[in-house]
Amino acid sequence: MSNTVVKIKDLVKRYGDLIALDHFSLEIEQGEIFGLLGPNGSGKTTTINCLLSLLSFDKGDIEIFGKKMTPVSYDIKKEIGIIMQNVAVFEELTVYENIDYFCGLYITDKAKRRACVEEAIKFVGLEDFRRFYPKKLSGGLLRRLNIACGIAHKPKLIILDEPTVAVDPQSRNRILEGIQQLNRDGATVIYTSHYMEEVEQICTRIAIMDKGRKVAEGTKDELKRMIKNTETITIEILELPEKVYGEISSLPHVYDTSHSDGKLSVYCSGGKHNLTRVLDVLQKNELGFGRVYTELPTLNDVFLEITGTALRDKED
């Protein structure tokens, strides 16, 4: 039996002359927290809408749980939980009533539903707010309510689209920990975000989209190995003779350097002991220096090198 939960093959979606998805393919395995990265306009929301059969497409195939997904695939849809970026709850209902309503769309047995609602409230930490109306909740608590409404029926596939936008750090941590717990409890998760540090923290595998195409895919470490930059060394140094600067620039694995505002930046591609070699040059030439630090590449570095633009620079 296949462990593939989501299979998208050669998906094409056009809006007139605009190609929103250009032969996009993707497979997500059971038990993954799969990160879908891309700027606004890259096609990731269109992908999700096609995946859920909320949007028709021009070409391609979509399977979920090994079955073809259609607008009337209610047996598949009941196993999916969706938490979108825009909070979707009823202002006229309390926290408890909102969760109970959404859970009731999937679970008709009252006793079972009541147990699921109580578990969802506890899971997102809203025990003290069950009688509150949404307008009385902070942004972070409102996001937690939104998540509870989407996961109360215990779906096997959970789709979260920017679930931590504009929330406080405490709620953000709670949400991320909750996602990881849902995954440990057996759910497969699709997670979209502009926050690279979140994706690095929780996602087991990641796909980067740009202009309707998948431009890279892999674990965070695999993605980082795709790019040239593997280490950036920064050293505070006021005076740097041209001869010494040239010597550092010529070191093995150094592909670029810069010196401005009292800081030397050395960009390395591969290799070990790069920092030791740079410091050896400075000490050999008896040059004093201040703070030294080294940085490994981030997912934003990967996105920048692959697409030519930093992800957050491409937000609307």
Terminal CA-CA length for the chain:
42
pLDDT in tens, the chain (316 residues): 569 999 999 999 999 999 999 999 999 999 999 999 887 788 888 999 999 999 999 999 999 999 999 999 999 999 999 998 888 899 999 999 999 999 999 999 999 999 999 999 999 999 999 999 999 999 889 999 999 999 999 999 999 988 888 788 888 888 899 999 999 999 999 999 878 888 999 999 999 998 999 999 999 999 988 888 889 999 999 999 999 999 999 999 999 999 999 999 999 998 889 999 999 999 999 999 999 999 988 888 888 888 776 555 444 3
φ/ψ of 260, rounded to 5, equals: -155, 155
* Parallel, antiparallel or unpaired: strands 231-236 and 263-268: antiparallel
φ/ψ of 55, rounded to 5, equals: -140, 135
Tokens of 311: 């992800």
Sheet with 18-29, strands from edge to edge, namely 18-29, 4-15, 59-64, 67-68
Per DSSP, helices labelled H in the chain are 44-51, 74-77, 95-104, 110-124, 139-151, 169-184, 196-202, 220-225, 242-249, 274-284, 299-307
Sheet with 205-210, strands from edge to edge, namely 80-83, 157-161, 188-192, 33-37, 205-210, 213-218
Query: What does the pLDDT read at residue 171?
Result: 83
Sheet with 292-295, strands from edge to edge, namely 254-260, 263-268, 231-236, 292-295
Dist CA 89 CA 109 (whole Å): 22
DSSP run (H or E) holding 14: strand 4-15
CB-based contact 21:12 (threshold 8 Å): yes
pTM: 0.84
Query: What does the pLDDT read at residue 7?
Result: 97
* Parallel, antiparallel or unpaired: strands 292-295 and 231-236: antiparallel
Tokens of 292: 């030294």
Dist CA 248 CA 246 (whole Å): 5
